Homo-oligomer: A and B are copies of this chain.
Amino acid sequence: MHTAEKQKISVKEAIDYQVVTADEPWEELAEIIRSINTQQAVFFVDENVFRLQDAFIARLESLVKRPILARVPAGEQSKSVQNWASLVDFCLEQGIDRQTPLVAVGGGVTGDLAGFVAASVLRGLPLIHIPTTILAIVDSSIGGKTGVNHSVGKNLVGAFYQPRAVVSFLKVLDTLPDSEFISGFAEVLKYGAIEDTGILALLNGRSILSLRKDPQLLKEIVQRCIKVKARVVSEDTKEAGLRMILNYGHTFGHALEKVAGYGCISHGQAVFAGMVAAGVMAQKLGARIDNSLIDQHAAAFVTRGFFDHFSIEDLNKAMQSDKKVSRATVRFILLHEYGRPYLHPVNDAEFITSVWEESFQKMNQLCS
């Protein structure tokens, strides 16, 4: 008689962590490091932050007896398996243990790379994000996505790994280049579009760069974005359902990034164009949304003619290999109206092509 013995394993995990946002939350950071009870910490610091914020870095290092610092080259091409392997070597050769926190100081590139190192050294180091760009503060540092790029596609190698804390120093944004500041606002607009429409209202008729001179308003907007992201990732950690709404604009956007080649288009430009395209698609499907709340910011992100050289055939092919795509069907997040996202599967390549064409024309008009 065939009898199979079955033994059940139950693994439960509950992780709580704080996202702290202020001009200079030094006390909060010091408290978090104290709670880890360590004499040493590894700091992965974006090379631009290292160059422009020496007093900030020195003060960070002074929080532990033995700071171990590695500079991380800026730019999307830095998110490679090779760089991951070098940083893993670096950590292990420094003789760290499982109580040694890895502190990621930089934008999305540094955070994604450091996150995957933290996930995979000694089966997990305590990870602290200190995001220094708008994008990293409102988006990439929150929710546990880590990873590096692969020749087959972006972010294809990585893990879900939650940080111990996210501590944002808004003061550090002072040295962020305008282009980076703007780029992060694609995600800000996204949170407005998919959930907190008040964000779109706060930005209506206002230029994005004007916020550099209005730290109070900037802080309010940033904190509202974090609230949306925190709610969504708390409800859906592993991107099984709800979390998909965070991909608004990203299915188009990732295709643009892939076809342009990483580094030739910013993530913000790609996501912004993706949201314009999602707006076009939604309208073609009959939704009544006032796309102007997004579209009015076009000139901050793109210039006339920017998309003229993109091959729509290549873009459609790139969408097929995106990991958010299930089999042959491409799944878009669209809006019934602002604040009401839904999943819309499309397997009509001609329809997608017409959306690309129309949105490229539209962006040229918006930038003229």
Which A residues are closer than 8 A to B by beta carbons? 2-25, 28, 81, 85, 88-89, 92-93, 95, 97-99, 116, 119-124, 142-147, 150, 152-153, 155-162, 219, 223, 226-227, 230, 233-234, 237-239, 321, 323, 325-327
Complex contact B119–A159 (CB within 8 A): yes
Complex contact B11–A124 (CB within 8 A): no
Least CB separation from A147: chain B residue:
B123
A156: which of B15, B121, B323 is its contact (CB, 8 Å)?
B121
A123: which of B25, B97, B160, B227 is its contact (CB, 8 Å)?
B160
Complex contact B17–A5 (CB within 8 A): no
Q: How far is the CA of A157 from the CA of B90 in the complex (A)?
A: 12
A5-B18 contact in complex given A85-B81, A93-B152, C-beta closer than 8 Å: no
Least CB separation from A155: chain B residue:
B123
Least CB separation from A39: chain B residue:
B327
Complex contact A97–B6 (CB within 8 A): no
CB distance from A226 to the nearest CB of B (A): 5
The 7 A-B pairs at the shortest CB distance, nearest first, are namely A4-B22, A92-B152, A7-B19, A11-B15, A4-B25, A13-B13, A5-B21
CB distance from A199 to the nearest CB of B (A): 15
Complex contact A92–B150 (CB within 8 A): yes
Q: How far is the CA of A234 from the CA of B7 in the complex (A)?
A: 11
Least CB separation from A26: chain B residue:
B2
Q: How far is the CA of A14 from the CA of B10 in the complex (A)?
A: 7
Contacts of A234 in B (CB 8 A): 9-11
A20: which of B5, B10, B325 is its contact (CB, 8 Å)?
B5
Q: What are 15 sample pairs from A and B whose C-beta atoms fall under 8 A apart?
A: A2-B24, A5-B219, A6-B18, A6-B28, A9-B16, A9-B17, A9-B230, A10-B14, A11-B144, A12-B15, A92-B153, A97-B325, A120-B120, A120-B158, A123-B155
Complex contact B21–A4 (CB within 8 A): yes
Q: How far is the CA of A17 from the CA of B95 in the complex (A)?
A: 35
* Inter-chain pairs besides A7-B230, A97-B325, A122-B156, 9 sampled, C-beta below 8 Å: A2-B22, A5-B226, A9-B19, A12-B237, A92-B153, A92-B156, A98-B323, A119-B159, A124-B238
Complex contact B124–A157 (CB within 8 A): no
CB distance from A88 to the nearest CB of B (A): 6
Least CB separation from A21: chain B residue:
B5
Complex contact A8–B156 (CB within 8 A): no
A157-B88 contact in complex given A144-B11, A162-B11, A237-B11, C-beta closer than 8 Å: yes
Complex contact B97–A326 (CB within 8 A): yes
Complex contact A123–B159 (CB within 8 A): yes
Contacts of A152 in B (CB 8 A): 92-93
Q: How far is the CA of A321 from the CA of B6 in the complex (A)?
A: 38
Q: How far is the CA of A59 from the CA of B273 in the complex (A)?
A: 49
Least CB separation from A327: chain B residue:
B97
Q: How far is the CA of A98 from the CA of B325 in the complex (A)?
A: 9
CB distance from A112 to the nearest CB of B (A): 11
A8-B17 contact in complex given A97-B323, A321-B95, C-beta closer than 8 Å: yes
CB distance from A119 to the nearest CB of B (A): 6
